[in-house]
Structure 1
Amino acid sequence: MSQYKPPGNLLVSRRDSPQRPLVVRFLFALGAVATLAVSAAHAQTNTFEEIEKQAQALSMRPFQPLDRQIPDVAAKLSYSEYRAIAFDRDKAIWNNTNLKFRIEAFFRGFLYPEKIQINLVGRNGTIQPLAYSSQLFKVTEGNGKVPKVSPDYGFAGMRLLYEFPYPRSWEELVVFQGASYFRFPAPGQIFGLSARGIAINTADKKAPEEFPAFSQLWVVEPEEGAKEVTVYALLDGPSVTGAYQFLIRPLARTTEAEVKATLFFRQQSERVGYAPITSMFWFGENNYRKFPDYRPEVHDSDGLLILDSYGTRIWRPLQTVTKDLVDVFSLPKSPQGFGLLQRDREYSSSVDIRAIYHRRPSLWVEPIGDWNDGSIVLWQIPTVDEYHDNIVAYWMPKTPPKAGEKHTIRYRLTSTAQDPPGVSTEGQVKATYIMSSYGRKDEYIVMVDFAWNGGSPAPFAEGEVPGVDITVDNAKVLSHTVDPNPDGKSWRLFTDVKFPSENMNAVLRYRLKGPKGWNSEEWTYTFVPQE
């Protein structure tokens, strides 16, 4: 399997294995045109309800994969050649208007052969399918040419640009490309982790993973001065079809997407994952296994945060694994939120001036309405590089949808460089460190740093330290202490943990506690070998 490393900070998106097709991470400058590329066909407004009807009708027919037929000249493009085929920015949709949004499309080729239909919904209710033209693209580097293809060639996806305040100007707001993947950075961040429309049989050993795709996209023309835009999508896959609505809002410090999906199941799947997030973790501060790399840490995300219905905060650091590791957090009620976060934002943690890992966004999911009981699933996959996504988190309903059933789900996604909205930061886990105890392979020192409330240890008196709740499965904590760190902003919980053997598989749960019901986050970790 070929692997490609994007130069500089150009891109970000991966996944691999026979059930995890490779998606190397790019950010390309491709687009669409308002006058040249729009066909003359018109139709009545295709509302979300009408797209629901399309999805329902589609679910009653056998699944037909997307058209992947592309000429060899497009299929054999190298990473650099494909990256050089850029959409002509001067021909972007809405380029000659006062709107704060622009639309550009992606060329079909390289790792993206699927043909996606893009539709423009006018304010007057007309629908204009976007037609392919070679005049929409240009080659920005080298002496290559845009491959000659048929007039009905179509596109591989699209992106929206937004006119952010100076000096940022026109930057990517959201990208839809590859299966049901979409990604949007927070202000001041670059592309990192991705969201997906749905996960089917993800982290299931009994059935192969499916990757349903957005086969059609609709973009609604906003009013002048509008600071949000609506995108619709039609999902199709072997087990499920669906209608999606994305209300996307670029804000001063975050980017939000309110998602509504109506799903129709062709057949029952072993596992269905709602609001899935895909990311990358290679190694971090919690590694005792060291890699021959100059960087201390390499990851797009460093932990999973869960805020359950009772207000309990659970922090699950990501880790290096040698085998697939699946954690399932069962909840009696739908959570208030969950997400994959990049908490460590110090440049000194990665010292990478090209990949810029300290500027990768966090993604937070907030259910809208009652999701009932279910579980949050975290799947960590072994990796030996930074070029492939190897982390997946999603919500799994307790009862899988049956064939013929219709399900509706709503949630809000927030892409941010800050702490998730509405989540307390008192007693927040700041770092996890692990080392062998005197070289032993069945005993380790595990240290966890918990933050104070700002620069104050309140509600603790001077010199007072918190109490500790420790729960372990398949291990024994031989000793523990809590001490203030020299930074004057956190405590360190030091534990000496003994495992039954070198092939440990133990769950550790730590939490600090104090007066007046004060509790830190609950740190939880599945301890398995890193080598």
Structure 2
Amino acid sequence: MHRRQFIMAAAVSGLLPTLMYQRELADAASPAETAIRGFKDVVRLATNQAGSAFSAQKMALSAPFADLDQTHYHGITATPEIPGMLGGNKGFKLSPLPPGLIYRDPVKLSVIGKEQTTPISFSPENLQFDPALFGYPDGRAPAEVFDGLDYSGLRLSHPVNQPDKLDEFLVFQGASKFRALAQGLHFGATARALAIRTGTPGGEEFPVIKAIWIVEPDAFAQEVTLCALLDSPSCTGAYEFRIMPGATTTMDIKARLFPRTEISQIGIAPLNSMFFFSPGDKVGIDDYRNAVHNSSGLQMITGAGRRLWRPLTNPSQVEISAFQDLNPTGFGLTQRPRTFDHYQDIQNRFEQRPSVWVEPASGWGQGAVMLVEVPTSNELNENIFAFWRPAQPIGPQPDGHEFAYRLHWGRGAPDDLPPARVLTTRIGDADHTGSSARRFVIDFHKYEGMPSQLSLQPTVSTGSVSELQLRELPDGKFIRASFRFEPEGTAKSEMQMELHGPEGPVSETWLYRWNGP
């Protein structure tokens, strides 16, 4: 159990009468905050906010919140919980997160109780400081250091892996970012509430979540609801998150957006991840590990039911890909290799990072799944971004623009159809004779009932392919497809390939963008 968290919901005891964050601060709370009782009220706030100019609110930090390293930041923890409030560890536990490090956007936190809405005060009673790291022998900082500041986000815990143990499973912190995990998994890829101008030359705009309201869950609840208010120079928004942790953690998300101006480069359901290298993409990287990535590919199911797989890369320059579609069934950044041997990283355990899948709740119309890949020289930076971009700009309108979708955080996409799926993509010198030819090797999972007669059908936009081969791997679980690619003087080629049986395709479509040697 993380000691910097305190109780949000109780299985038997009521939440509001016993929470330690209660303080005589109600008079300082704005009427707008305490009047929020659900999503419709946040929509009203977002509507009103869209009628005025955006006001950036970065916190100016001073000691003890300024100039912290990771050790000192994590030495600031929420006041310990009151024993027994979970009623046998049933329910949810909330930990407000302090400002510090890169987290300077204030986030107002409140709890929507059965009868009233109560703000969580940013106060000495709610945070403690490790005496070994800070000059506070009793772990308490003076009240004046809290003036003008607020929390930077929140963390939620729930018995995800064992019924008698709380697990951290959800974090909202930093602009509009949030991340989650499921049973047996660690944090990895992240999501955002909204993306604007991602990957564009003019620079990205980062919307921020300004306030979060946590709806008090019922006793023994297995799901929790949050509402959030978003703001940016171009847009305001109201969000509702219905979150159900478990073997796969799901989030039913409803967003109502109110642009202040027309936005053409908007990103709906944006996902972030990290891809440094894989076994087939390790040129110039001196590292004992076989692979370092939070996600291995962009997976898509089109509105017509076509299944696509695009391996991720760490490019030499920013690469932007658009996959046009009408009413997509789903897309996500998934982590397919699930064995330790694929990575050989005993500390980070990349095989336990979650896949994140976006499932639209209704037709999103015409648009494109966008993939932005940014060069990185290490594993510390998120350099992979995927999102849905509507074909038409969205602009101001009284009722706003609503998007609803479900996020799945788990071991893979919720797709049970049998087409053979790609596990790994490897690329290397075709013959080591000094030619520019490249050898592509793609391993597909076999499935029960897969035809024994298979053919390989690759296509390339430029260059040519030859030496097509299909072989079953020794373990009998995979089919290896390979081909030789001749660039023929080109510096870029768009590739795709499928496995075909006697009656047509039996695999998802492998997509790849080759960018020179």
* Common fold by TM > 0.5: yes
In structure 1, stretches of 5+ residues that fail to align are: 1-26
- Tell me how far apart the structure 1 counterparts of residues 511 and 417 of structure 2 sit (CA, whole Å): 18
After superposition, the Cα gap between the structure-2 partners of 1:446 and 1:476, relative to the gap in structure 1 and judged at 3 Å, is same
The residue number in structure 2 matching 1:187 is: 183
Of residues 320, 328, 336 in structure 1, which corresponds to 2:329?
336
Of residues 98, 119, 122 in structure 2, which corresponds to 1:132?
122
What secondary structure is seen at the aligned counterpart in 2 of 1:49?
A: helix
After superposition, the Cα gap between the structure-2 partners of 1:31 and 1:223, relative to the gap in structure 1 and judged at 3 Å, is closer
Matched AA of 1:510: M
Matched AA of 2:21: A
The residue number in structure 1 matching 2:14 is: none
- Tell me how far apart the structure 2 counterparts of residues 123 and 98 of structure 1 sit (CA, whole Å): 21
The residue number in structure 1 matching 2:21 is: 37
What secondary structure is seen at the aligned counterpart in 2 of 1:204?
A: coil
User: Cα deviations across residues 250-299 of structure 1 (Å, max 9, x unaligned)?
Assistant: 12x11000000000001123410100000000000221514111101000
- Tell me how far apart the structure 1 counterparts of residues 3 and 402 of structure 2 sit (CA, whole Å): 33
Q: Please state if 1:526 is matched with 2:510.
A: no
Percentage identity across aligned positions?
30
User: Cα deviations across residues 56-88 of structure 1 (Å, max 9, x unaligned)?
Assistant: 111110000124222154221112111221223
The residue number in structure 2 matching 1:487 is: 475
Is contact 2:251–2:408 with CA below 8 Å preserved after alignment? yes
After superposition, the Cα gap between the structure-2 partners of 1:228 and 1:217, relative to the gap in structure 1 and judged at 3 Å, is same
Is contact 2:7–2:92 with CA below 8 Å preserved after alignment? no
What secondary structure is seen at the aligned counterpart in 2 of 1:90?
A: coil
The residue number in structure 2 matching 1:478 is: 466
- Tell me how far apart the structure 2 counterparts of residues 483 and 340 of structure 1 sit (CA, whole Å): 28
- Tell me how far apart the structure 2 counterparts of residues 141 and 482 of structure 1 sit (CA, whole Å): 63
What secondary structure is seen at the aligned counterpart in 2 of 1:58?
A: helix
What secondary structure is seen at the aligned counterpart in 1 of 2:81?
A: helix
Between 1:62-71 and 1:180-189, the stretch displaced more is: 62-71
Of residues 472, 492, 501 in structure 2, which corresponds to 1:514?
501
- Tell me how far apart the structure 1 counterparts of residues 123 and 186 of structure 2 sit (CA, whole Å): 30
Q: What is the CA distance between 1:494 and its match in structure 2?
A: 1.1
What secondary structure is seen at the aligned counterpart in 2 of 1:396?
A: strand
After superposition, the Cα gap between the structure-2 partners of 1:198 and 1:441, relative to the gap in structure 1 and judged at 3 Å, is farther
Of residues 97, 107, 111 in structure 2, which corresponds to 1:116?
107
Q: What is the CA distance between 1:123 and its match in structure 2?
A: 1.6
Of residues 281, 291, 295 in structure 1, which corresponds to 2:285?
291
What secondary structure is seen at the aligned counterpart in 2 of 1:421?
A: coil
- Tell me how far apart the structure 2 counterparts of residues 426 and 147 of structure 1 sit (CA, whole Å): 59
The residue number in structure 2 matching 1:280 is: 274
In structure 2, stretches of 5+ residues that fail to align are: 9-17
What secondary structure is seen at the aligned counterpart in 2 of 1:54?
A: helix
Matched AA of 2:66: A
After superposition, the Cα gap between the structure-2 partners of 1:99 and 1:128, relative to the gap in structure 1 and judged at 3 Å, is farther
After superposition, the Cα gap between the structure-2 partners of 1:441 and 1:138, relative to the gap in structure 1 and judged at 3 Å, is farther
After superposition, the Cα gap between the structure-2 partners of 1:229 and 1:93, relative to the gap in structure 1 and judged at 3 Å, is farther
Matched AA of 2:456: V
Q: What is the CA distance between 1:437 and its match in structure 2?
A: 2.1
Q: What is the CA distance between 1:518 and its match in structure 2?
A: 4.4
- Tell me how far apart the structure 2 counterparts of residues 230 and 472 of structure 1 sit (CA, whole Å): 47
Matched AA of 2:119: P
Between 1:176-185 and 1:86-95, the stretch displaced more is: 86-95
The residue number in structure 2 matching 1:268 is: 262
What secondary structure is seen at the aligned counterpart in 2 of 1:89?
A: coil
Q: What is the CA distance between 1:49 and its match in structure 2?
A: 1.0
- Tell me how far apart the structure 1 counterparts of residues 423 and 417 of structure 2 sit (CA, whole Å): 14
Of residues 34, 53, 57 in structure 1, which corresponds to 2:48?
57
Of residues 325, 336, 347 in structure 1, which corresponds to 2:340?
347
The residue number in structure 1 matching 2:91 is: 100
Q: Please state if 1:367 is matched with 2:360.
A: yes
The residue number in structure 2 matching 1:301 is: 295
The residue number in structure 2 matching 1:13 is: none
Q: What is the CA distance between 1:425 and its match in structure 2?
A: 4.2
Q: What is the CA distance between 1:135 and its match in structure 2?
A: 3.0
The residue number in structure 1 matching 2:15 is: none
- Tell me how far apart the structure 1 counterparts of residues 286 and 174 of structure 2 sit (CA, whole Å): 32
Q: Please state if 1:76 is matched with 2:72.
A: no
**TM-score computed with the length of structure 1 as normaliser:** 0.88
- Tell me how far apart the structure 1 counterparts of residues 74 and 418 of structure 2 sit (CA, whole Å): 41
Matched AA of 1:84: G
User: Cα deviations across residues 485-516 of structure 1 (Å, max 9, x unaligned)?
Assistant: 22212211111001133x72111100011134
- Tell me how far apart the structure 1 counterparts of residues 360 and 319 of structure 2 sit (CA, whole Å): 26
- Tell me how far apart the structure 2 counterparts of residues 242 and 97 of structure 1 sit (CA, whole Å): 37
**TM-score computed with the length of structure 2 as normaliser:** 0.90
Q: What is the CA distance between 1:29 and its match in structure 2?
A: 3.8
Is contact 2:75–2:133 with CA below 8 Å preserved after alignment? no
After superposition, the Cα gap between the structure-2 partners of 1:438 and 1:517, relative to the gap in structure 1 and judged at 3 Å, is closer
Is contact 1:31–1:158 with CA below 8 Å preserved after alignment? no
Q: Please state if 1:169 is matched with 2:165.
A: yes
Is contact 1:478–1:495 with CA below 8 Å preserved after alignment? yes
Is contact 1:480–1:494 with CA below 8 Å preserved after alignment? yes
Q: What is the CA distance between 1:137 and its match in structure 2?
A: 2.4
Q: What is the CA distance between 1:347 and its match in structure 2?
A: 0.3
After superposition, the Cα gap between the structure-2 partners of 1:96 and 1:70, relative to the gap in structure 1 and judged at 3 Å, is farther
